[in-house]
Structure 1
Amino acid sequence: MKLLIVTTSYPDDSDGAAAAGVFVRDFALALVEQGHQVSVIAPSQTSRITDENNVRVQRFAVPKLPLSLLKPHDPRDWTAIIHTLRQGQHHVNHICATYRPDYIFALWALPSGAWARQASRRYGVPYGTWALGSDIWSLGKIPLIRQGLRHVLRHAAHRYADGLQLAQDVTDISGLNCDFLPSARRLLVTNPRTIASTPPYRLAFLGRWHPNKGIDLLLEVLEQLTDNDWQRIEHLRIFGGGAMHAQVHQHCARLIALGRPIEIGGFLDQSAASELLNWTDFVLIPSRIESIPVIFSDAMQARRPVIAMPTGDLPALLNEHGCGEVAADISAAAFAFALRKALQSNASEYASGTQSACARFDIAESARRFTRNIELRSQ
């Protein structure tokens, strides 16, 4: 089967800052391994076509990356938005005319789904959408854009979402069924380290330094911890980057000066992320807004329990699998309470929970489900 993946996020020179794009690449590779021909089209800083592990990747130049930084309500971004939309549609149409795919898979519903819909109407190729969250929860709130989103979803042959609640939200907007299709990237953990069973424990945060990811709440939690709490922490590593760079560095510098065992660093590529997860005992997810973050499936692959805020699908997943601790509400005080509970526990007792959750987040199985649905539709 010839498949075209249209996405606004695909790893380029550095994949550390594009976690979503990394799982798209791994999804494409899983499809190739299952015998399909896969072509990807994605925005980049420069236009070029490359062959990456038997995946044909066509990148088209756009004025600004990541596209999530473009704000439809800000007139200063209108020129860049219009240019990006035109270039995206042009390149999707061109590759449909030359590559002749059997199916177009749009990641995400907007703008990729809009490009796929127009190409589908022009070339008669069915398309599907995979919603990630920002396209539904952010763009879907803008009236005119929500109407366009509804049309994109309703005309898709298949609708998927990488979250349980998100799938229901897509169903509500479109009036049609949307399936939960888990997203995950492949992490290769060599020489896996046995998780500690007693404190002091190792803790890790990996992600964007943005209010949605709750890095400021985590910093507030660290201030609330007592000397007795810190005695149960061997080391804390905070890696990532983003708009709150200065705040994170200044806050951590102050804590380090007080003798707290904290290390801070930038974004990590896939190999370094695997090493960090293998090193830690608990993964911290203090997010305010999430569906199911990529770091959650990363942690499950590494068999590491998480300490998480009750956002998106995380409460349901943690309650179902018993793969960590979830805060009572989204606040620094509640997260501190959950953290203290974890620090007083036997971390190895979460092993069966992380194993069962890991089985659910298998990117190869997601690829198999996706192609099975296409084949069933064509019969």
Structure 2
Amino acid sequence: MKLLLVTTSYPESNEGEAAAGFFVKDFADALHAENNEVEVVAPARNSLYTNESGVGVRRFAVPRLPLSLLRPSSPGHWPAVVRTLAGGYRAVEHSCAEQRPHHILALWALPSGAWAARAGRRLNIPYSTWALGSDIWSLGRIPVIRTILGSVLRGASHSFADGFALALDVERLSGRACGFLPSSRFFPCKARNRWRVQEPCRLAYLGRWHPNKGVDILLDSLNMLEKEAWSRIEGIRICGGGPLREAVHEAGARLAGMGRPVEIGGFLNRDQAVELFEWADYVLLPSRIESIPVVFSDAMAAGCPVVAMPVGDLPRLVQEHEVGILSESVTPQGFAVALERALAMSTDRFRGNIAHVARLFDVRSAAVQFMECLKKPSSGK
């Protein structure tokens, strides 16, 4: 089958800045491995067409990256938004006219879904959408955009979401069925041989430094830990980048100046991320808003339990599957208490459960699941 993937994030140069983009690349490769012809349309700094291990990648130039930082509510961003939307429409329609795919998959609902819907209508090509929390819980709050979003979702042959609760929200918005499809990437970790019992603990955070991801909550919670808790910590590595960069570096420097073993690092490529999670005893997920982050499946692949906020699907995954510690509230105080609980217990107790969940979040299995869905009638209620 000929498939076109339309996405707002695909790795170009600094792969560490595009964890979601690397998931899309792995998903495209997995679809290609299932004997499909796959082409990807994605924004980039410059327009370019390349063949990457059998997957065609059509990049179109945009004024700013990443697109996730563009805010339609900000007048100063409107010129970049307009140019990006126009460039996306042109690139998707050109790819469809040239390749004539059998199906288009939009990652994610907006703006990719709008590009897919327009090209699909013009050329009579069915499309599906795969929604993220930012589609529904952020863009879906803006009245005009919510109307566009609902139209895109209703026009899709199949709707997917990367979270269980998110799928229900997509159904409420669209009035149509939505399936859960996990977003994960290939994360080649060695079998874990370190299961902490009493030795000092290693903690890791990897992700965007954005209010939604709660890195500021994490840093505030670290300031609340007592001396006894710090005596159980060997090191904390906070890696990533984003709009809170200055605040993160300042807070990290203050903690380090107090003698706390806190290290601040930048974005990590895949191999570096694997090394970080193989080093860690716990992966930290202090998000304010979340569905199921890719870093959760990374942690499971690395055999590493998590300390997480009670948002999105994390309570269901962390508590029901027992793969870590859940904060009781989305506050620095709540997360500090969760950290203290994690520091007081052995990670060996999570071993079998993590292995089970890791099998559920496999990118190759997700590709097979998607192809099976395409063989079924269009989704609906």
Q: TM-score, normalised by structure 1?
A: 0.97
Match of 1:342 in 2: 342
**How many Å separate the matches in 2 of 1:74 and 1:258?**
39
Task: Write the deviation string for residues 26-70 of structure 1: whole angstroms up to 9, x where unpaired.
Answer: 100111111111000000110000111111000000111111222
Please state if 1:250 is matched with 2:250: yes
Cα displacement (A) at 1:262: 1.6
**How many Å separate the matches in 1 of 2:174 and 2:199?**
49
Match of 1:170 in 2: 170
Cα displacement (A) at 1:190: 3.9
Match of 1:289 in 2: 289
Match of 1:147 in 2: 147
**How many Å separate the matches in 2 of 1:174 and 1:199?**
51
| AA partner of residue 357 (structure 2) | A
Cα displacement (A) at 1:197: 2.3
Task: Write the deviation string for residues 62-83 of structure 1: whole angstroms up to 9, x where unpaired.
Answer: 1111112222222222221111
Match of 1:58 in 2: 58
Match of 2:299 in 1: 299
| AA partner of residue 93 (structure 1) | E
**How many Å separate the matches in 2 of 1:24 and 1:368?**
14
**How many Å separate the matches in 2 of 1:69 and 1:238?**
21
Task: Write the deviation string for residues 170-216 of structure 1: whole angstroms up to 9, x where unpaired.
Answer: 10010000001000011112474422222311111111111111111
Task: Write the deviation string for residues 324-364 of structure 1: whole angstroms up to 9, x where unpaired.
Answer: 00001101111111111111101111111211211111111
**Cα-Cα RMSD:** 1.2
Across the two proteins, how many residue pairs are aligned to each other?
Answer: 378
Q: Is the 8 A contact 1:199 1:344 kept in 2?
A: no
Match of 1:10 in 2: 10
| AA partner of residue 269 (structure 1) | N
Match of 1:363 in 2: 363
Match of 1:31 in 2: 31
**How many Å separate the matches in 1 of 2:246 and 2:43?**
29
Q: Is the 8 A contact 2:29 2:55 kept in 1?
A: yes
Gaps of 5+ in 2: none
Match of 1:222 in 2: 222
| AA partner of residue 242 (structure 1) | G
**How many Å separate the matches in 2 of 1:215 and 1:37?**
40
SS at match of 1:101: coil
**How many Å separate the matches in 2 of 1:246 and 1:182?**
33
The within-5 A match list for 1:167-206 is 167-190=167-190, 192-206=192-206
SS at match of 1:376: coil
Q: Is the 8 A contact 1:281 1:347 kept in 2?
A: yes
SS at match of 2:375: helix
Match of 1:309 in 2: 309
In structure 2, the CA distance between the partners of 1:321 and 1:191, relative to structure 1 (3 Å rule), is closer
Task: Write the deviation string for residues 106-137 of structure 1: whole angstroms up to 9, x where unpaired.
Answer: 01111111111111111111100000111111
| AA partner of residue 80 (structure 1) | A
In structure 2, the CA distance between the partners of 1:191 and 1:174, relative to structure 1 (3 Å rule), is closer
| AA partner of residue 3 (structure 1) | L
| AA partner of residue 51 (structure 2) | D
Match of 1:135 in 2: 135
SS at match of 1:198: coil
**How many Å separate the matches in 2 of 1:191 and 1:338?**
26
**How many Å separate the matches in 1 of 2:301 and 2:150?**
35
SS at match of 2:351: helix
In structure 2, the CA distance between the partners of 1:190 and 1:353, relative to structure 1 (3 Å rule), is closer
Q: Is the 8 A contact 1:23 1:184 kept in 2?
A: yes
| AA partner of residue 19 (structure 1) | A
Gaps of 5+ in 1: none
Match of 2:95 in 1: 95
In structure 2, the CA distance between the partners of 1:243 and 1:370, relative to structure 1 (3 Å rule), is same
Moved more, 125-134 or 143-152: 143-152
Q: Is the 8 A contact 1:129 1:156 kept in 2?
A: yes
**How many Å separate the matches in 2 of 1:125 and 1:246?**
46
**How many Å separate the matches in 2 of 1:244 and 1:177?**
37
Cα displacement (A) at 1:218: 0.9
**How many Å separate the matches in 1 of 2:191 and 2:183?**
25
The percent identity for this pair of structures is 52
**How many Å separate the matches in 2 of 1:31 and 1:141?**
33
**How many Å separate the matches in 2 of 1:164 and 1:153?**
17
Match of 1:318 in 2: 318
Q: TM-score, normalised by structure 2?
A: 0.97
**How many Å separate the matches in 1 of 2:211 and 2:54?**
38
